[in-house]
Amino acid sequence: MSKHPPTVWFGLMTLLLMVSACKTPQATVVNPSLPPRVMVKSKVTSTKFLTGAENTESYLSLLRNKKVGVLTNPSGQITYEYPYTYIDTVNHMQQSGMKSETMHIVDYLTQKTKVDLVKIFAPEHGFRGEGADGELIVDGKDTKTGIPIISLYGNSKKPSKEQLSGIEVLIFDLQDVGARFYTYISSLHYVMEACAENNIELIILDRPNPNGAIVDGPILEKEYSSFVGMHEIPVLHGMTIGEYALMINGERWLKDSLQCPLKIVPCENYRREMPYSLPVRPSPNLPNDQAINLYASLCFFEGTNVSVGRGTDKQFQIYGSPFLTSYHYSFTPKPNAGSKEPPQNGKECCGEDLSHIPKISHLELKWLIDAYRNTEQPEKFFNSYFTKLAGSKKLQKQIEGGMSEEEIRATWKSGLSKFREMRQKYLIYPDSFLNTN
């Protein structure tokens, strides 16, 4: 047992964190075991945090004199700086300074560069993000730029050879949230596979995972693979989308064990433990940081008769159903921009409001278990979609069998340990500043 009291250790850790915070940020620490040809070496000297998309100096040269496509949505934002001059009316002198502007990557490439952008690919919810949950997105043209848009959600999740025709390099810029069933990482898989089959280079502009390094939940069993869970990973994988792409390639998860011609532009001056608040919602039903933090835990309710607030302004921050009448909080889902036909549409749902609870740092099962134990119709609680979300039939059987959260979590331990070991090989950013040396 340590001879130092807990307060001393707390003080030492606080001091260490303060010292780290006061340091001048260093260039992104890149895992030396990663393929050097894949990682785009930074050309920036700024000490500011930059997403991969904002690190334009490092990747624009890779697009020069090439036909370029891009897969993105409203989350593909860039904030960039540019010089300007003005007249100092006090000293009657011309002065210079820097201004910043935020715009979408497509608008930036078409307006501020000479990049030949020829096609836009759109994931679930569409390019401009106006599609409701599950809505079929069709091909068309971007009204702002006139560039053709190809939907990768609905009937065609993987770009065809014809759709990729004329493209020499494809940019991938989507904001993920770190959950297995968030479909952007499934779109990533199919795009990587298509690029591998057609020998097209894929450049991933990395962005932080807002759920940081959280690795938790049951591991998907391969026989239950679907578009809401393609690979044998836990519900919360604790990786950025760039790191996840490295894992797909490294573990040979693409069809016929293909490997995608891949380059990754990392975030700069980023540490995984840094809090990261998304500048725009990554999809219509994740409106804020609270929803993003609770998403992985509450998404299980999508495989039950319980609403998670679709059709309200508190999506993924509340839950309830007409069969939980013992709960005191209530809401009534109605069609809105994010959900045209929300579950339990027009019915009063009783449940809980989680919109103001503290941030959680693991996959939380208590709400799901409590709802099952308190529902008036347990035989109708689960539906077939639950198995796809859980990645196996085990979780439903465990809950129906009366297992406690602690007992259920114990069954994940071995799988999570093996995944963490595999995950370590593909990390671009260390899990903690304490591990950077």
Which one is predicted more confidently, 108 or 6? 108
Query: Which one-letter DSSP state was computed for residue 191?
Result: H
Q: For residue 98, what pLDDT band results from cuts at 50, 70 and 90?
A: confident
Give the whole-angstrom CA distance, residue 204 versus residue 242. 6
Q: For residue 130, what pLDDT band results from cuts at 50, 70 and 90?
A: low
Look at the block and give the residue holding tokens 């198995």: 387
**Residue 364: pLDDT above 90?**
yes
The model's pLDDT over 316-337, given as tens digits with 9 standing for 90+, comes to: 999 999 999 999 999 999 999 8
The angle that helices 241-250 and 184-198 make with each other, rounded to 10 degrees, is 50
Res 28: pLDDT: 63
Of the candidate ranges 13-27, 82-96, 377-391, 422-436, the one whose mean pLDDT is the lowest:
13-27
Res 212: pLDDT: 92
β-strand 77-88 against 93-104: which pairing, if any? antiparallel
**Residue 125: pLDDT above 80?**
no
**Residue 132: pLDDT above 70?**
no
Residue 319: Cβ-neighbour burial (10 angstroms; 0-12, 13-18, 19+): buried
The answer, as to whether pTM is greater than 0.85, is: yes
**Spatial contact of 52 and 264, defined as CB atoms under 8 Å apart:** yes
Please report, rounded to a whole number, the percentage of residues in the chain having pLDDT higher than 70.
89
Q: For residue 7, what pLDDT band results from cuts at 50, 70 and 90?
A: very low
H/E stretch holding 178 reads none
Closest CA to 228 of 415, 390, 412: 390
**Residue 290: pLDDT above 90?**
yes
Per-chain mean pLDDT for the chain: 90
**Spatial contact of 68 and 169, defined as CB atoms under 8 Å apart:** yes
Please report, rounded to a whole number, the percentage of residues in the chain having pLDDT higher than 90.
75
Q: Is the four-CA dihedral 385, 389, 394, 397 of positive or negative sign?
A: negative
Burial string for 281-305 (b: 16+ CB within 10 Å, else e) reads: bbbbbbbeebbbbbbbbbbbbbbbb
> Can you spell out the DSSP letters for 374-420?
H-S-GGGTB-THHHHHHTSSHHHHHHHTT--HHHHHHTTHHHHHHHH
The model's pLDDT over 339-363, given as tens digits with 9 standing for 90+, comes to: 999 999 999 999 999 999 999 999 9
**Spatial contact of 317 and 292, defined as CB atoms under 8 Å apart:** no
β-strand 116-122 against 67-72: which pairing, if any? parallel
H/E stretch holding 373 reads helix 366-374
Over residues 257-263, the mean pLDDT reads: 98
| The pair of three-digit structure tokens given for residue 418, joined into one six-digit string | 């093996």
Give the whole-angstrom CA distance, residue 55 versus residue 205. 9
The model's pLDDT over 374-422, given as tens digits with 9 standing for 90+, comes to: 999 999 999 999 999 999 999 999 999 999 999 999 999 999 999 999 9
**Residue 80 phi, psi dihedral angles, 5° rounding:** -130, 160
Residue 274 CB-half CA count within 13 A: 20
The model's pLDDT over 23-57, given as tens digits with 9 standing for 90+, comes to: 444 456 567 788 889 999 999 887 899 999 999 99
Q: For residue 141, what pLDDT band results from cuts at 50, 70 and 90?
A: confident
Where are the strands (E) in 37-127, listed by range?
67-72, 77-88, 93-104, 116-122
Res 27: pLDDT: 54
Q: Which residues contact 375 (CB under 8 A, 6 or more apart)?
A: 305, 321, 323, 324, 381
Res 30: pLDDT: 66
Closest CA to 395 of 186, 405, 416: 405
